[in-house]
Amino acid sequence: MSHTTVQVQNVSLSFGGVKALTDVSITVSSDEIFAIIGPNGAGKTALLNCISGFYRPQVGEVYLYGKKITGLRPDRIARLGIARTFQNIGLYTGLSTLDNIMAARHVFMKQNFLTSALYFGWSRKEEIAHRKTVEEIIDFLEMQSIRKQIVGTLPYGLRKRVELGRALALEPKVLLLDEPMAGMTLEEKEDIARFILDVFEGQGDTYPDSPVLRDGVRSIVMIEHDMGVVMDLADRIAVLNFGRKIAEGTPAQIQSDPDVIKAYLGEPGQPG
C-alpha cells in the first residue's frame, strides 16, 4: 500500500519583490519516482530547496511522513531521511572519491574527538563499518577505478556520479535529484538512469548488508530537462511555470496537456 512521503502544502517563496514560488502543492507517494519539470526559471530548484531546508518559504508547509519539517536546518532534514544532489556540483574537489562519500557518513558517527584521535575500541569498529558502507556504494556505482582519485581531476559525468554516491551514503528514504543528467553524454545518461532505477527498486541479493542499497529509497523527486528521460523514469510529473504549478499527472497526461505545451512552445503565432 502506498503512503505519502513528502507533502508540500501551499508553499510561496519570494526574494525581495521576485516571486520564486506561488501557492505550490505536491504530494509524493512511497514507491514513486516523481518528476518536476518546467522552463528555465520556473522555480524547480527553489521547490527542492524548500523541501531540503536550504530555503524557508514565507507561506506554506513541508511535511515528511506527516511530520512538519518546515524551517528545520538542512542537516536535521538529512538525518530525518532526505538527501539531495545539486544542479551545480557541490563536492570537495581536493578530496578523493572515497573521502567525499565518507564525509557524508558523519551524520551517523557517534565517536567524539578524543576517541577518534586515539582510535580505540568501538571508535575503530565504527570507522570500519562506515568504510564498508562507502565501499559498497562505490561498487554499486561502478567507481572502483576512481575510488582514490581526487574528485577535482575527474570528468564532469563521473563527478555527478560521485555526488549521487554521497547522497546515497546518507541512507535516504527520499532522494532529491536536481538535474542528475545535465551535461552528460548519452552513455553517461544511460548509466545514471540505470543506477537511479536500481537504487529505487533495491538490490537485496547483491547488497544484503547495506540498508539503502538493499531496500532501495522510498521515493525519488527529480528535476530533469531531458524529456525522454523524464517520460521513461517518472510515475508522475508536476509542471511549474513562473513559480506556479500548471499541471500534474502521468507522463501520458502531461504530454497532451495544452497548458504544458503552451509553456514549452509558446502561444501559436508567437515569435520563437
**How confident is the model at residue 234, as a pLDDT?**
96
Q: What is the Cα–Cα distance from 106 to 104, expressed in whole angstroms?
A: 6
Percentage of the chain exceeding pLDDT 90: 64
Q: Categorize the per-residue pLDDT at 230 as very low, low, confident or very high, splitting at 50, 70 and 90.
A: very high
pTM for the full predicted model? 0.88
**Sequence-separated contacts (24+) of 200-207 with Cβ below 8 Å:** 200/33, 203/140, 206/140, 207/136, 207/140
Give the mean model confidence (pLDDT) for residues 223-242. 93
Q: Categorize the per-residue pLDDT at 37 as very low, low, confident or very high, splitting at 50, 70 and 90.
A: very high
Across the chain, mean pLDDT equals 87
**How confident is the model at residue 114, as a pLDDT?**
46
Task: Kindly report, residue by residue over 191-201, the tens digit of the pLDDT.
Answer: 999 999 999 99
Q: What is the Cα–Cα distance from 46 to 141, expressed in whole angstroms?
A: 28
- For residue 176, what are the β-bridge partners? 84, 221
- The helix-helix angle for 186-201 and 156-168 (nearest 10°) equals 10
Give the mean model confidence (pLDDT) for residues 119-140. 76
- The helix-helix angle for 121-140 and 186-201 (nearest 10°) equals 130
Q: Which of 27, 18, 14 is nearest to 59 (CA)?
A: 14
Q: Is residue 272 over pLDDT 60?
A: no
**How confident is the model at residue 113, as a pLDDT?**
45
Give the mean model confidence (pLDDT) for residues 42-49. 95
Percentage of the chain exceeding pLDDT 70: 87
DSSP line for the chain? ---EEEEEEEEEEEETTEEEEEEEEEEEETTEEEEEE-STTSSHHHHHHHHHTSS--SEEEEEETTEE-TT--HHHHHHHTEEE--SS----TTSBHHHHHHHGGGGG----HHHHHHT-HHHHHHHHHHHHHHHHHHHHTT-GGGTTSBGGGS-HHHHHHHHHHHHHTT--SEEEEESTTTT--HHHHHHHHHHHHHHHH--TTT-TT-HHHHH--SEEEEE-S-HHHHHHH-SEEEEEETTEEEEEE-HHHHHT-HHHHHHHH-STT---
**How confident is the model at residue 204, as a pLDDT?**
86
**How confident is the model at residue 93, as a pLDDT?**
81
Q: Are 175 and 163 in contact (CB under 8 A)?
A: no
Q: Categorize the per-residue pLDDT at 183 as very low, low, confident or very high, splitting at 50, 70 and 90.
A: confident
Q: Categorize the per-residue pLDDT at 123 as very low, low, confident or very high, splitting at 50, 70 and 90.
A: low
- Lowest mean pLDDT: which of 4-13, 101-110, 115-124? 115-124
Q: Which of 188, 206, 207, 185 is nearest to 196 (CA)?
A: 188
Grid cell in block for residue 252: 501520458
CA 88 vs. chain centroid, Å, equals 13
Give me the domains of the chain, ranges plus CATH numbers. 4-265 (3.40.50.300)
**How confident is the model at residue 1, as a pLDDT?**
52
Q: Is residue 269 over pLDDT 50?
A: no
Q: Which of 130, 92, 124, 91 is nearest to 108 (CA)?
A: 130
**How confident is the model at residue 63, as a pLDDT?**
97
CA separation, residue 166 to residues 16, 26, 72, 171 (Å): 33, 26, 21, 10
Q: Which of 186, 193, 185 is nearest to 164 (CA)?
A: 193
